[in-house]
Amino acid sequence: MKVTIDGITVDVEPGTSILNAARQIGGDIVPPAMCYYSKLQGSGGKCRTCLVKVTKGSEKDPRPMPKLVASCRTGVMDGMEVQNITSPEVVEARKGVVEMLLINHPLDCPVCDQAGECHLQDLGFEHGAAKTRYEFDRRTFEKIDIGDKIQLHMTRCILCYRCVFTADQITNTRLHGILNRGDHSEISTYISKAVDNDFSGNVIDVCPVGALTDKTFRFKNRVWFTKPVEAHRDCDKCCGKVTLWYKGEDVIRVTGRKDVYGEVEEFICNTCRFDKKKTADWVIEGPRKVSHHSVISANHYEFTPLPVVKTNPVLIEANKEQFERETRL
Amino acid sequence: MGRKLLLEHINVPGINTFDVYRSKGGYASVEKALKMTPEEIVEEVKKSGLRGRGGAGFPTGMKWSFLAKPEGVPRYLVCNGDESEPGTFKDRYLMTHIPHLLIEGMIVSSFALGANTSYIYLRGEMMPQVRILERAIAEAKAKGFLGKNILGTGYDLELYVQPGGGAYICGEETALLESLEGKRGNPRIKPPFPAIAGLYGCPTVVNNVESIAAVVPIINEGGDEYAKIGIGRSTGTKLISAGGNLKKPGVYEIELGLPVEEFIYSDEYCGGIANGKRLKAVVAGGSSVPILPANLILKTINNEARLMSYESLSDGGFVSGTMLGSGGFIAYDEDACIVRNTWNFARFYHHESCGQCSPCREGTGWMEKVLHRLEYGHGKMSDMDLLVDVSKKIEGNTICPLGDAAAWPVASAIRHFRDEFEWHVTNASEATSRNYGLAHYADPLKVVETSPL
C-alpha cells in the first residue's frame, strides 16, 4: 500500500497505522506520540498529540476526512495522503493539545528524575508555547508507593493509560487502573494494593513523564550525567537484555533498551531491573547509542555527519567553496 | 392540533399495564411486523425518513442498513436510555408512563435487525424506570410477546434492562457498550463503528428510546404515511422536553415543522413565558447545542420564521443557528444570567468528562474555572477570547462528541452575548448583585440588504 505523508511516499503493509508509516519514513514528519506504545495492545488515541490531517482518504474514495484523526489509531489506505507538519491546522491543534497537557503538569523538571528522557519535556520544547495562559491552581496529589521499588506521583501524570495497559497485558493480574473521571481521575492500584509482580517494574519504562519513578534511582543523578551501556545476562524470567546506566564505576539504574521513540525493545523482569546492580552480574556489550537529539548524548563526543545530498550540483559547488575558504584561512 | 403518534394514549389511566395498552391497539405492530421480512421493515423505516432522536439526527433506517451481518455471529440491538443531557427528560417520561411502547418498538426493531438478545441501557439514576420496564417486560413475556417463539413465528427475543452507573459519558454509544460489557465507560476509538464491532465485538445497533418507540407508528401506518408528517427531511413527530422559565413546562409531542414562536407562546404548548416576562434566550436541543438570543430563535437571519425541525434550527450554521439535538428546549427569561448559565453548563461538562483524551479532560476544567471567575466578578477582558480559543482547541480534536458538546455552548454564548460577558468584567461589583437584563437580545433583526441582481 502506498501512503504519502507530507509529500513523501512510502510503501507499507496493509493494516499499518499512519503513525507507523511515518516512522518508516522517519525524521521530522513523525507525529509525536505520548500515549501510543507499539508493544501494548489497545494503546493510543488518547493524548491527541499525534493528530494529522487526511487530505485524501484513499485511491478508491478520495474524499478527505472531516476531522483531524489520531494517526496512531488510524489505518492507512492505498493512496492515502496525509499532512502532518505541512498543515497549519495540525500544527495549531497540536499546540493546543500540548498546552492542555501542560496546564495540570507541575513543571517541576528541575527536581524530576525523568528530566532528560521525558517525552512531555521534548514535546513542550518542540511544540509548546513559551508561556502558559493558565492562571489557576494545578491539581495535586499525594505521592503513593506502589510496592517498595516504584513511586507514583500522580501530580505529574498525563493519563496516557500506558501503565494500565502494561499492568493488564504484561502482568498476570489486573491490579492497576484508573479511578474517578475527568481531570480528577487518577492512576490507582485498586485501593493502594501494591503491584507485586515480576514485571511490574516495566510501568516505569513505559511512563512518558515522571509519574512513575524507580525508587532505587530517585534523586541519585541526572540522566545526562550517566553513561548508558548495553548488557545482558541469563535470566529465566525475561530476555535479560538491558541498558545499564553507569555513574563512574557504579551501576545506578537498569532499564529496558529504549529505541528512538522511547519504547523499550523488550520488557525486562524486576530481578534484572532492581536486584542486579553490579557489573559482575552482567555481560557488557558496549555503549548504548542514544539519538543525538537526546540530551543524554550531550558531551558524549559522538556525532553522525550531516547528510550531504551528493547528486545536487549546487550543494556540491557550495561545499567545495566552503572547503576552499576554510583551508585558505 | 398536531398529530400525536407516541403520546396519543398517554392520559388513559393504567396505560402502563399490558391489558390497557393492548386494548388501545398496542402490540399491533409486532403482529404486523412478524409477518413481514426483516428487510421490508428496514425498508419501511428508511422510507419513513425517521432520524435518530438522541441528538445527532442520523437517519435510523440508514444506520440499520449499515449493520454487518456475518454468519454465525450474534447481532445486538441496544436501546440508549442513558438520557442525561441537561434539559432533556423526554425518554424518562416515555418510559415511566408508557413503557410498553418502548418494548413494542424493541421487539419490532430487534426482529428487523435479527437480534435475539437486546438490551435497554438506563442511566443509574433511573431506578424507578428500571422497575417499571422490568415489570412491563414480565407482562409482555407472560403474554407471549417476548421469550421463545414469539406468537408462534419461531422468532426468539430476550430483552434485558441494564442500569448504568449514572455517567453522562455513557450516553455516547461506544462508552455505553463498554459500560454494558462491565468496563469503565470510556468511549472507544472509532472506527470500527458499533455496526461492525460493537457489544462483545459483535455487530450492534444503538438507538435512542424515542427512535425505537417511533418505529411502532411507522410499522402500523407505513413509512410513506409517517413521512407525510413533518417538513422536508425532518419527518414525523418529536418529543420536546420544554423547561426553563415557561408557563407550562413539560414533555410535548410536536409535528416537526412547528414554528418556534407558536411552540413557545401558543396555549396548546408552552403558553408563553412565566410571570409575564420577556424571552431572552433559548437553548433549543439540550445543553450541548449553541444557545441563541430571543430574536435569532424566533426568526432566522433571513427573517424567516424559525421552525422546530432539524434543518430550520440549524439554518445559519454556527453563526446564527443552533441544532434540534435531543429536544431539550430550555427557555430563559429576561432575569436569567447567561454567564452564570454558561458556567453551569461548563461545570457539568467538567464533571462529566471521562478523562481519556487530553483536550477535553483539561480544557473543560479550564473553561469552567475561567467562567467561574467571570461570574463572580474577577474576570478580565481577555477571558472571552481565551474561552473561545480554548473551546476551539477542544472542538473536533477529541475521541467522542463530548468535547464538541462542551465547547459549543461556551463559544455560542460568547458569540451572541459578548456584551453581557463584558459587562461582567466592567461592572464586576454590580454583576454579583443584579443581572444584565434583556438588553437588545429580543430586538427585531436588521433586515439584510439584498442585491437587486
Nearest to B397 among A93, A136, A180 (CB): A93
Q: Among B176, B188, B186, B139, which Cα is nearest to B159's?
A: B139
CB contact under 8 A, B355 and A185: yes
Q: Which of A35, A41, A46, A74 to substitute to test the interface with B, most B CBs within 10 Å?
A: A46
Mean predicted confidence (pLDDT) in B178-182: 93
For residues A88 and B351, the answer to whether their CB atoms sit within 8 Å is no
Residue A172 pLDDT > 80 = no
Nearest to A183 among B169, B355, B394 (CB): B355
Residue B422 pLDDT > 90 = yes
Q: How confident is the model at residue B412 (pLDDT cuts 50, 70, 90)?
A: very high
CB contact under 8 A, A181 and B189: no
Angle at A167 between CA B187 and CA A250, to 5 degrees: 135
Residue B111 pLDDT > 80 = yes
Mean predicted confidence (pLDDT) in B262-266: 95
Span between the terminal Cα atoms of chain B, in Å: 41
Mean predicted confidence (pLDDT) in B345-363: 94
- What is d(CA A79, CA A5) in angstroms, rounded to the nearest whole number? 10
Three-class SS state of A44: coil
pLDDT, position A308: 57
Edge-to-edge strand ranges of the sheet holding B328-333: B250-255, B237-244, B328-333, B279-283, B291-293
Contact residues on chain A for B363, CB-CB shorter than 8 A: 100
Q: Which residue of B has its CA nearest to A96?
A: B393
Query: Tens digit of pLDDT for each residue in A232-258?
Result: 999 998 999 999 999 988 999 999 999
CB contact under 8 A, B353 and A45: no
Q: Per residue, what are the HEC states of A199-258?
A: CCCHHHHHCCCCCEEECCCCCCCCHHHCEEEEEECCCCCCCCEEEEEEECCEEEEEECCE
**Which domains, and CATH codes, for chain A?**
2-98 (3.10.20.740), 104-130+139-217 (3.30.70.20), 220-329 (no CATH)
Distance from CA of B89 to the nearest CA of A (A): 24
Residue A175 pLDDT > 90 = no
Grid coordinates belonging to B330: 430550555
pLDDT, position A192: 62
Mean predicted confidence (pLDDT) in B176-192: 91
Grid coordinates belonging to A179: 479511578
Distance from CA of B105 to the nearest CA of A (A): 34
Report the mean per-residue pLDDT for chain B: 93
CB contact under 8 A, A134 and B366: yes
Distance from CA of B130 to the nearest CA of A (A): 25
Nearest to A104 among B169, B362, B397 (CB): B362
- What is d(CA B253, CA B259) in angstroms, rounded to the nearest whole number? 14
Q: How confident is the model at residue B1 (pLDDT cuts 50, 70, 90)?
A: low
Predicted complex: ipTM over 0.85: yes
- What is d(CA B63, CA B46) in angstroms, rounded to the nearest whole number? 9
Q: Within 13 Å of residue A216, how many CA atoms lie on the same side as its CB? A: 19
Share of chain B above pLDDT 90, in %: 87
Chain A residues whose C-beta is within 8 A of a chain B C-beta are 44-49, 51, 67-68, 70, 73, 93, 96-97, 99-101, 103-104, 133-134, 136, 158-159, 161, 177-178, 180-185
Strands B117-122 and A250-255: unpaired
Domain with CATH 3.40.50.11540 in chain B: 18-228
Report the mean per-residue pLDDT for chain A: 88
Q: Among B2, B387, B347, which Cα is nearest to A133's?
A: B387
- What is d(CA B365, CA A267) in angstroms, rounded to the nearest whole number? 36
Distance from CA of A97 to the nearest CA of B (A): 6
Distance from CA of A45 to the nearest CA of B (A): 7
Q: Under CATH, which number does the domain B18-228 receive?
A: 3.40.50.11540
Question: What residues are paired with B412 via a beta bridge?
Answer: none
- What is d(CA A254, CA A279) in angstroms, rounded to the nearest whole number? 11
Q: Which residue of A has its CA nearest to B355?
A: A182
Distance from CA of A47 to the nearest CA of B (A): 5
Grid coordinates belonging to A311: 547528486
Q: Per residue, what are the HEC states of B154-217?
A: CCCEEEEEEECCCCHHHHCHHHHHHHHCCCCCCCCCCCCCCCCCCHHHCCEEEEEHHHHHHHHH
DSSP A280: G
Interface contacts (A, B; CB < 8 Å): 90
pLDDT, position A173: 67
CB contact under 8 A, B353 and A158: no
Please indicate whether residue B163 or residue B447 has the higher confidence score (pLDDT).
B163
Domain with CATH 3.10.20.600 in chain B: 231-333
Distance from CA of B381 to the nearest CA of A (A): 14
CB contact under 8 A, B356 and A70: no
Taking domain B231-333, whether its CATH number is 3.40.640.10 is answered by no
Query: Tens digit of pLDDT for each residue in A18-42?
Result: 999 999 998 889 999 999 999 998 8
Q: Among A68, A129, A70, A57, which Cα is nearest to A98's?
A: A129
Q: Provide the residue count of chain A.
A: 329
> Exposed, middle or buried: residue A96 (CB in 10 Å: 0-12, 13-18, 19+)?
buried
For residues B355 and B406, the answer to whether their CB atoms sit within 8 Å is no
pLDDT, position B132: 96
Query: Tens digit of pLDDT for each residue in A121-167?
Result: 999 998 888 888 999 999 999 998 888 889 999 999 999 999 888 88
Nearest to B386 among A45, A133, A180 (CB): A133
Residue A100 pLDDT > 70 = yes
Residue B79 pLDDT > 70 = yes
DSSP B330: E
Nearest to B362 among A51, A67, A103 (CB): A103
- What is d(CA B331, CA B372) in angstroms, rounded to the nearest whole number? 22
pLDDT, position B257: 93
Share of chain A above pLDDT 70, in %: 93
Contact residues on chain B for A73, CB-CB shorter than 8 A: 189
Q: Among A275, A271, A241, which Cα is nearest to A258's?
A: A241
pLDDT, position B245: 94
Q: Which of B358, B366, B386 to substitute to test the interface with A, most A CBs within 10 Å?
A: B358
Q: How confident is the model at residue A327 (pLDDT cuts 50, 70, 90)?
A: confident
Q: How confident is the model at residue A300 (pLDDT cuts 50, 70, 90)?
A: low
Taking domain B338-431, whether its CATH number is 2.60.40.420 is answered by no
CB contact under 8 A, B357 and A177: no
Contact residues on chain B for A67, CB-CB shorter than 8 A: 396-397
Amino acid at A23: R
Q: Provide the residue count of chain B.
A: 453
Mean predicted confidence (pLDDT) in A278-300: 84
